[in-house]
Structure formats: structure tokens, C-alpha cells
Structure 1
Amino acid sequence: MDHLMRELAPIPAEGWRQIDDEARERLVTHLAARKVVDVEGPRGWTHSATSLGRTRRIDAPENARERETAVRQRRVLPLVEVRVPFTVDRSELEDAERGADDLELDDLDQAAAQVGLIENRAVFHGWPEAGIGGIIDASPYEHGTLGTDPERYPHLVANAVNTLRCNGIDGPYALAINPEGHTAIVESTEHGGLLVLDHLRRALGGGRVKRTPGITGAVVLSLAGGDFVLELGQDLSIGYSHHDAEKLSLYLEESFSFRVTEPDSALVLD
């Protein structure tokens, strides 16, 4: 038995199958940052820190100072653990055993959205308490202004891509944008009938436009690889907490770190 304690849950195999399938389907939608950064791992629950490849000097023990001993300590970025609880009605699981394949898992859907929000914000806006710096704060360029007119977005994005190229950052590129901005893009057409979304993809060099819950504004960033790294210890998994006569208390859990290795590879549009 591992730390998720799934074996202790009074959940039949069919119930677990439907819960896992629903979680997987919802998480694909919400984990937007994973589509535009490098993902390493998962390295397992016991993986505790990301090596930064650097050291810091520290004092040698007093009994070793006569020999001018040099001492350095490896620098690491500890992984952060995220656990979001949700509940499932036992009656729904009983129906799964009867053959129902449309379980009501609304609380799971909300938990998946919360996990996605946390991860996306950590990647783009950072998480100081966890030692994580985000893409937006790391970007060295003057911020552009996104505005509210989606028909201007291709021009703004093309300018951002040009800035990245002039600084030696290869494409293709991606536009990570808040849900409201993405909706405006999808619903709009430019003069002449060309979809804004199609025009944006051309400006991005065949890259992608990604709806990103949790981001403020938008970011144009390179998809060339190696610039932004999300390292997973445990990938998102469902664990068991406890239950009563009516409900089971479960949770979504993951551990991760994030680091920006090339700040020049992203430009922010406020």
C-alpha cells in the first residue's frame, strides 16, 4: 500500500475507473501550462528537490580551517506538494456497480479546476512561498498591452514574436492567454472573414494559442524547448482520505517544481 491509500477506500473497480477517467479528462483541459513548457518526470513521490546545478560557499568546520578547506553546498529547489480534496457520493459508486457510466462527479471537476489554477499560476506568476519564480516576472522585456479588441491581437503577437526573434529566440511560439481573451479570439473574425485564431497561428509560426486559466493578460513564449521546465515528482493522482455512510473524501495530489532557464524566451502582454 502506498501513501495514496486507495486500497483502503470502499470503492469498486468500476467506480475507480470512472473517477480516474473523469479526472484525466478534466485535467487535460485545466493544465494549460504543461502545453507550452517542458515537463520532466514524473520522478516519483520520494523525489524531493530539483538540482539547480549551482553551489554556495559555506564555512568549513572549525577543525578544518587551518588547511584552507573549501566547502560548497549544492543548491536545490524543493518540490512543492499540492493536495486538493473532493467528495464522491457513495450512492453514485453503487450505481457504477449497477452499470451506470454517467456518475455525478461535480466536486471532482471543481478540484481539477483548482489544481490547474494553482499550477498555471505558479508557472506564469510564480509562487514566492514555494521558491518558484514565474515566467512573467522573469521576462526582461517591456510589457506590451493586449487591449480588448481581439482583431488587434495578431498585430500585437506578431510584434512580440519579432522581438523574440531579434533577440535570438527561435520558434515556433505560443500565446498563453486568459480564458476571457481566448473566448474573444474564438468568437471574432477579422475583416475579410479570416478567423483571428488562424491569423494568430500564422503569426506564431505554426505554434499554438492556449487558453490558460489563472494567467493575467497573456504571454508570447518560445516552444523551442529548454527555456521553461516543470519538473514533476508525483504526477497528479487520486488518493483516499476517509468516508462516512454517505460520502467518500478523496483528493487530487501532485508534487512539482518550476524554473525559468532562459528569461529572454517570453514577452508579456498586459
Structure 2
Amino acid sequence: MSNLHRELAPISEAAWAEIDEEATRSFKRNSAARRLVDVKGPLGNDAAAVTLGHRAKIDAPADGIIAFTRKAQPLIELKVPFTLTREAIDDVERGSQDSDWDPVRDAAAELARAEDRAIFEGYAAGGITGLRSEASATPIELPADVRDYPEALTRATTALRLASVEGPYSLALSADVYTLVNETSNHGVPIRDHLQRLLVAGGDIVWAPAISGAFLLSTRGGDFEMSIGQDVSIGYDHHDADSVTLYFQETFTYLTYTPEAVVPFTFSEV
């Protein structure tokens, strides 16, 4: 029996398949960081920390001995409960193709955005500093006129080049900024196309609804690392005659190795 206790849930294999499929779709749709940083793992549910590769001197236990402690960063565990109706679950066995899986999609999106916020914006309680605070580059304010975004992106790509950071470069955009970029044109050419041409070696423009503003970062590898212990999983909590309560769960942490490889943008909504 695993720690998820799925076998205790009054859910058929067919219903589990639909729930898992909806969860995967929603999580991927709302997740941006996993497309942009290195991902290590899953390391297993028993993984509690990742090494930082450093040590700190501590008091020796006796004369003639030199002692150190190895530095590590703990993984955090996130859990998002959600409830499904027994009717929606049982209808799958009756041949239903339209069971109400909104709670699955909503909870998956919530977890994906919490993960992204930790990586991009930081999560102090979990010991994660995040890209915005780690970045050595001065943040660039996005212009009030979206048609001037290419100029701001040029400044950012120049900053990466001057820091000897190679591409490809990818651009993560908040939901508001992404909408502006996709709805605006300049001289008949969509702003998105202008931005895409500025990205080195075919980098991506990524919708990142959890962030504020935008981030330009190198995706050459080796600069940013997310470590996963237990990957996103669905577990069973309890049920009654009318509903079943499940939960999403994952463990992870994040480290920035090259602060020069990211440029954050700030955005003030008009």
C-alpha cells in the first residue's frame, strides 16, 4: 500500500483514468517553470533534501578533530485537497462522457501555480529564494505601450550576452502580459512575432499565469534546477455517501546556480 491510499477509494479504474487524464492536462497547461528550468527526479518520496555541495565548520567533538556539517536544502511538500461527487465518479461506469471533473482541473491548476510562484517569485517559508530575488540583473520595467516591448526585450537579451550567458533564451509572460502581447500588432505584425525573432536560437514564449510581469532566462541548461522527490500524484483522503475527497501531493525544491542567466521584468497594469 502506498502513501496515497488510492486502492481504498470507491473509484473504478475507468474513473481513475479520466481523473488522472484531466489532472495531467490541467497541470501542464498551468505549469511554466518545468518547461524552462532543469528538472531532476523524481528522487522518491523518501527524499528529504538535496545537497548544496558546501560545508560549514562546526565545533569539534574533541581535540585534534576538525568537524564540518554538510549543507542541504530541504524539499517542501504541497498538498491540495479537492472533492468529487459520487455521482460524477459512478457515472463513468454508466457510460458517461461528461462527468464533472472541474474540481480536479481547479486543484491541478492551483498546485501548478503554487509551484511556479515558488520558483519564479520565491517561497520564504519553504526556503526557496526564487528567480526574481536571485537574479543579478537589474529588473526591467515593461513599457506602458506594449508596442515598445521589443525594445525592453532587446535590453534584456543584451544583458545576458554581456554576462556571457548563451542561449537559447526563453520568455515567460504573466497572464496579463501574455494577453497584451498576443492581442497587439505593430505595422501589421503581431508583437508576439517581434518578440519571437529576438529570442536566441528558437527560444519559447511561455504563458506563466502564476508570475507577475515577465522573465527572460537562458534554457541552455545548468543554470536553474528543480528537484522533485514525489512527483505530482493524486491520493485518497476519505469519502461518504455523496462525495469523495482526494488530494494532489508533490515534494520539490528549487535552486538557482547562475544568477546572471535570468532577467526579470516588472509590470504595472494601467
Please report how far the alpha carbon of residue 101 of structure 1 lies from its aligned counterpart in structure 2 after TM superposition. 2.3
1:125-166 CA-partner distances (Å, limit 9, x unpaired):
111111111111011122111134221112211220011011
Q: Report whether the alignment pairs 1:93 with 2:89.
A: yes
Instruction: Name the amino acid aligned to 1:222.
Output: S
Contact 1:33 1:120 (8 Å CA) reproduced: yes
- For the residues of structure 1 that align with 2:137 and 2:13, how far apart are their CA atoms? 52
**Overall identity of the aligned pairs, in %:** 40
1:182-221 CA-partner distances (Å, limit 9, x unpaired):
0111111111x22211221111122111111221111111
Name stretches of at least 5 consecutive residues in structure 1 with no aligned partner: none
1:97-144 CA-partner distances (Å, limit 9, x unpaired):
012122211111211121112111111111111111111101112211
Contact 1:158 1:204 (8 Å CA) reproduced: no
Contact 1:174 1:209 (8 Å CA) reproduced: yes
Please report how far the alpha carbon of residue 44 of structure 1 lies from its aligned counterpart in structure 2 after TM superposition. 1.1
- For the residues of structure 1 that align with 2:124 and 2:117, how far apart are their CA atoms? 11
- For the residues of structure 1 that align with 2:73 and 2:139, how far apart are their CA atoms? 28
Please report how far the alpha carbon of residue 254 of structure 1 lies from its aligned counterpart in structure 2 after TM superposition. 0.3
Please report how far the alpha carbon of residue 176 of structure 1 lies from its aligned counterpart in structure 2 after TM superposition. 1.0
Instruction: State the TM-score, normalized to the length of structure 1.
Output: 0.96
Q: Report whether the alignment pairs 1:257 with 2:256.
A: no
Contact 1:49 1:77 (8 Å CA) reproduced: yes
Contact 2:143 2:152 (8 Å CA) reproduced: no
Q: Which of 140, 159, 163 matches 1:163? A: 159
Please report how far the alpha carbon of residue 24 of structure 1 lies from its aligned counterpart in structure 2 after TM superposition. 0.4
- Number of the residue aligned with 2:46: 46
Instruction: State the TM-score, normalized to the length of structure 2.
Output: 0.96
Contact 1:124 1:135 (8 Å CA) reproduced: yes
Contact 1:18 1:103 (8 Å CA) reproduced: no
Q: SS at 2:129's partner residue? A: coil
> Cα RMSD over matched residues?
1.0
- Number of the residue aligned with 2:11: 11
- Number of the residue aligned with 1:200: 195
Q: Report whether the alignment pairs 1:186 with 2:175.
A: no
- Number of the residue aligned with 1:79: 75
Contact 1:116 1:213 (8 Å CA) reproduced: no
Residue-pair matches, total: 265
- For the residues of structure 1 that align with 2:143 and 2:44, how far apart are their CA atoms? 42
- For the residues of structure 2 that align with 1:174 and 1:84, how far apart are their CA atoms? 29
Q: Which of 204, 216, 221 matches 1:220? A: 216
